[in-house]
Amino acid sequence: MYLPQEIIRAKRDGETLTTEQIQYFVRGLHDGSIAESQISAFAMAVYFQDMTLSERVALTEAMRDSGQVLAWQQMKLNGPVLDKHSTGGVGDLVSLMLGPIVACCGGYVPMISGRGLGHTGGTRDKFDAIPGYNTTPSLAKFQQIVADLGVAIIGQTGELAPADARFYATRDISATVESIPLITASILSKKLAAGLDGLVLDVKVGNGAVMRDTAQAKALAQSLVTVANDAGVPTSALLTDMNQPLARSAGNSIEVYEAIEFLKGNIKAPRLAEVTIELAIEMLRVGKIELNAERARDKVQAVLASGAAAERFEQMVAALGGPADILESYPKQMPLAPIAKPLLAASTGIVSAIDTRAVGMAVVALGGGRQHSDDQLDYGVGLDEIVQLGDAVTVGQPLLMIYARTEAAWEQAATRLQAAFTVTDKAPQQTPLCVERIKEQV
């Protein structure tokens, strides 16, 4: 028998916790015997004192084993079970397209997604914006949809890694989102519980990422790859740039809009396309569907060009209770907030810097993200047509569109966002979108 406060004290003082101590604490997360104040204190202790590799593995496996671990053998699938996870950013809607793309290429994607954390958006929140879409189906239904369609994207259920669900919500409001050990355990506990044959991580780096520094982002990627491979799941990671929003939109419904138009071939946002395609290629390689990168690229581009990926997205939405005609009916099904006005540039020049975190926090302040763990989201608010780094603008030209519920909310967002965009006479220093690929254990 352990006392939670003694475990917290030990980690606060820099001691290495035993597997048994970690398992005890995680059981308390699951059964409610650990108070939220103790979860916050433990998270803060880990934030400052870090965890050894053995502690990270123990925490990951304890949270994985707090619920059911899926098995796929009985489904008799004819391809690998694959998934991807992003550490989060602003305008990161890649998962909405990536799951259907990989499914059309022969993979099976049981994607268990999270809510937004801090200034970053959450894939589950985007699907919750679709009327009728059930992000918490039974595991039996989840697995059957994956078997039938090759993809199902849902949120955490009470059956898979339930201890993480409580920890996840507390991290969001306790300023401990950036802890590498906690991120590692949170991501991988859900992924390992899904019974994967392969995993690809999209680790964001930049001023809109959880990890702002390249060295820190690489350390997180290495932690994820090492722990996952040690657990027997072939895993690689891409470091991708988040010094500006990835998509041209940020919000919940508005990002679903963009994903649908992307899949239909009507939006060709270059940065969004590049990250989506590179991650799809990596998933095909990790799953040994296609080891040659160029042939994998051809497969991905073919299912986009044919409309197969768009059709698979619509089938998935319908199978999970959403509208069967979502590709056409989405504007009616997911109306945007009524106050829709552009934010105009105050000066002429080149967009030389974007405070991407501030852009994300503007969405949160509009109601599109959570300031408290139990906040209800306003799915209709958000931003669209966001200018990119290097774009030339003139006075009075729109920097972006703001969708707000009230005039006062629009004004507050406009003030925040005007300060987030720097316009000068100098072009910004461009960084690669895909910074680095991390494959081997460290």
Residues annotated as catalytic (active site), given as ranges: 83-86, 123, 171, 186, 190-191
Length of the chain: 442
What tokens appear for 411 in the block?
């004004």
Torsion angle of C-alpha atoms 125, 126, 131, 133, degrees rounded to 10 = -80
Calculate the alpha carbon distances from 410 to 328, 365, 382 in Å. Answer: 28, 10, 10
Q: Kindly give, in sequence order, each residue whose CB lies less than 8 Å from that of residue 400, ignoring residues fewer than 6 positions away.
A: 342, 343, 383, 384, 385, 386, 387, 417
Tell which residue, 203, 196, 202, 221, has the closest CA to residue 287.
196
Spacing of C-alpha 187 from chain mean position = 10
Question: Burial of 291 by CB count in 10 Å (0-12 exposed, 13-18 middle, 19+ buried)?
Answer: exposed
3-state secondary structure of 438: strand
HSE on the CB side for 409, CA within 13 Å? 20
CA–CA distance, 260 with 412 (Å, rounded to integer): 29
b/e per residue 385-403 (b: at least 16 CB within 10 A):
ebbebebebeeeebbbbbb
CA–CA distance, 252 with 129 (Å, rounded to integer): 6
CA–CA distance, 384 with 378 (Å, rounded to integer): 16
CA–CA distance, 62 with 163 (Å, rounded to integer): 9
